Amino acid sequence: MGTHAQEKKSRRRGRRRLVDYPRTGRSGVRRWVPSWRLLLGTAGLFVTAVATLFICVYVSVDIPDENEAARREANVYYWSDGTQMVSTGEVNRQNVELGQIAPSAVNAVIAAENETFYEDSGVSPKGLARAAVNMVRGQETQGGSTITQQYVKNTYLSQDQTVTRKVKEFVIALKLDRKKSKDEILKGYLNTSWFGRGANGIEAAAHAYYGIPAKKLNPSQGAMLAAMLKGADLYDPAVGAANHERARERWEWILDRQVGVGLMTKKERAKYRTFPEPRKRSRSTSLGGQTGYLVDVANRYLKQRTGLTDRELARGGYEIHTTFDKDKVRALERAVRRVLTRDTDPDKRPADRHVQVGAASVRPSDGALVALYGGPDATAHFTNNADTSGVPVGSAFKPFVLAAALQHGMALREVPVTEARLARAPDMGPGILADSYYAADGTLRPATGATDPDHPTLRRALASGGNATYVRLGEDVGRDTVRRTAVDAGLLRQSMARLEPAFSIGTSTPSAIRMATAYGTFAADGIRHDPYSVTKALRDGERLPGLTPPSASRALDPQVARQVTDALREVGKDLGTDVSAGRTGDQDRLKSAWFTGFTKDLSTAVTLFRLDPDDPQLLPMSGVGGKKSRRGNALPPRIWQEYVAGARN
């Protein structure tokens, strides 16, 4: 028996295995440690497999037709009735030769994006490996591309961040580097890259940012434009302080980098210590008048709800259906122009110079933004006055103080609950009403029905004067409660002013869109609908997700909203119509004039102020519109009346 087993074991030893693992003739840990032959063979097989796969991919992937793949489409915007509002037209791009681009700008791009461009093979193996690792981790695959790879992505492929696309990019870049000269590739890259402001290519970018051709860019300007290649959404210095700081830091790094890689001398670098501020953003003539403002608001909303970037929108091909009512937009524009033409005279009256208007009209039932007035012309005055905060709202803010007191009145000293009071608002329980007034002892009391000029009711104080009454009311109910009520109604938290005594009489700076929205909450019996401007967007026939109208929420009790609405009718009486409205008044000492009026179907806010384009500070309103305009306070109601009359006709 023992002899048979030994013979069997000897026969097994005599047979050689294809892969000697676990290793024969070894025991313990050594049995599981692979031999150098096994390691070398495995590595060889892996390299052979990868090489074979790469050859197969290299042979199968051809360089596509760049003209077909690089074609850009227009975005088309539609009115609420489905008719076309505007087509953004052809892509803003002018191809130029490399010799028509300032050499310093070319150097800036090379230093920033690919310092070894003229020496490498057109690809970055590290970038491809990083993409594969990121894919395994579930992260984005971007990063590490050469200028050649970026040119391939711009011209031949989509912007999708997938390993398949990265592999194609890698292979096409290798082939392109053999087929085209480095200068040809660099020219193509500079002509197809996205620089923001609707500019595809460095020539369009030079005009968009500095109003000059690319050949006239100085080294400092060239470095600033090279910074935009990092992502114009985040680096355009005209879009907020954070963008400006990022752009300045990137610009400085690119100049220093040119010195580090030998593309600029230290002496030349020392000349550029001041950031080259670009010109203000401008729009093409197809976006003139109010159209540019409408497109701007629609794009902001679209990006917020869908995650689209400026670059993706600039690629085009989107059908964007908006909430804007063509007739109402035109009626609002006509109303502003008529009132300003009739009631202001900037040639004869210096106080009428630099007068600006912003207005917005919202449907209270669902929050649809149906019209706005952003300024005289979007191509000349880019800032959208309808969607810009910075103008104090004055007494038009008082309804939110009243709403807070009515909604949270139990925080005040209790007032007697009379039969007359319960008959007027039986569901409200103990608390205050719009007809309450401050007695001499400082307590709020129910209205007696008698006229007492020394103690105006909250309703009367809302309509005329009454700043002292509302300062006191805000303090009693709590200014933080007032702020919360205003935000719940639809104003933005970031537009709220400091909680000082004057807070209750309008030191906050909401936009016209948000004022129309918040007053619409009163009109909708306390139901808040956030504003929206796009109903749907399609690309290649597919609808983009995320564009269902914002859901409604209750901001105020119905009885509270109705009392505020009823009280606001006192303000609208001098218009001769049954409209609820709030406005700035003679007691306000702010550099603005407001009027917000609403019916069941429409809530519209109009603001008027003075602002010199070269000075960020609001100018005084004294004398605007002449003596009878009450420091301009009469003009917004006139615009509102003209608009409502025009929208009905």
- For residue 266, the one-letter residue type is K
Tokens found for residue 198: 């609707």
pLDDT per position as a tens digit, 315-341: 788 999 999 999 999 999 999 999 999
pLDDT of residue 18: 61
Q: Which two tokens stand for residue 190?
A: 């500079």
Report whether pLDDT(42) > 50.
yes
Instruction: Reply yes or no on whether the pLDDT at 466 is more than 80.
Output: yes
Across 26-30, 36-40, 133-137, 258-262, least confident range = 133-137
Percentage of the chain beyond pLDDT 70 is 76
Strand partners, 600: none
Q: Which of 6-20, 48-62, 414-428, 471-485 has the lowest mean pLDDT?
A: 414-428
Domains of the chain, with CATH numbers?
93-269 (1.10.3810.10), 394-606 (3.40.710.10)
Alpha-carbon separation of residue 333 from 233, 468, 603, 642 (angstroms): 30, 36, 16, 10
**106: pLDDT confidence band, cut at 50, 70 and 90?**
very high
- In this predicted structure, the answer to whether residue 60 has a pLDDT above a threshold of 70 is no
pLDDT tens-digit profile of 491-513?
A: 999 999 999 999 999 999 999 99
Residue 548 has pLDDT above 80, yes or no: yes
CA–CA distances in Å: residue 487 to residues 43, 400, 518, 598: 65, 9, 8, 19
Tell me what the mean pLDDT of segment 562-588 comes to: 81
Mean pLDDT of 627-641: 86
**Percent with pLDDT over 90 in the chain:** 48
Q: How confident is residue 140, by pLDDT bands cut at 50, 70 and 90?
A: very low
- Residue 163: pLDDT band (50, 70, 90) is low
**For residue 639, what are its two tokens?**
């615009």
Lowest mean pLDDT among 320-334, 343-357, 445-459: 445-459
More confident residue, 408 or 425: 408
For position 228, what pLDDT does the model report?
Answer: 94
pLDDT: which is higher, 546 or 120:
546
Average pLDDT, the chain: 82
Instruction: Supply the pLDDT for residue 257.
Output: 95
Q: Is the pLDDT of residue 130 over 60?
A: no
pLDDT at 195: 92
What confidence tens digit (pLDDT) does each residue in 410-448 have? 444 444 444 444 444 444 444 678 888 888 888 888 766
Residue type, 497: A
C-beta of residue 153 within 8 angstroms of C-beta of residue 169? yes
Q: Which of 241-250, 274-283, 420-429, 454-463 holds the top average pLDDT?
A: 241-250
d(CA 627, CA 604): 26
Provide the angle, in degrees to the nearest 10, between the axes of the packed helices 512-523 and 558-572: 120
Give me the mean pLDDT over the 65-80 stretch.
Answer: 69
Phi and psi based region of residue 239 (left: phi greater than 0; alpha: psi -120 to 50; beta: remaining): beta
- DSSP string for residues in 94-148: ----GGGS-HHHHHHHHHHH-TTTTTS-S--HHHHHHHHHHHHHTS-------HH
pLDDT digit string (tens) for 201-214? Answer: 898 899 889 988 89
The pLDDT, as a whole number, for residue 448 is 62
As a whole number of angstroms, the distance between CA 370 and CA 643 comes to 13
Residue 307 CB-density burial (10 A; 0-12 exposed, 13-18 middle, 19+ buried): exposed
Output b/e per residue, 498-534; b: 16+ Cβ within 10 A.
eeeebbbbbbbbbbbbbbbbbbbbbbbbbbbbebbbb
Distance, CA of 9 to CA of 207 (rounded, Å): 86
Q: Is the pLDDT of residue 489 over 90?
A: yes
Which range of 34-43, 72-81, 580-589 scores highest in mean pLDDT? It is 72-81
Compute CA distances 122 → 148, 149, 379, 562, whole Å: 5, 7, 41, 69
Q: Of the given ranges (102-111, 185-194, 413-422), which has the lowest mean pLDDT?
A: 413-422
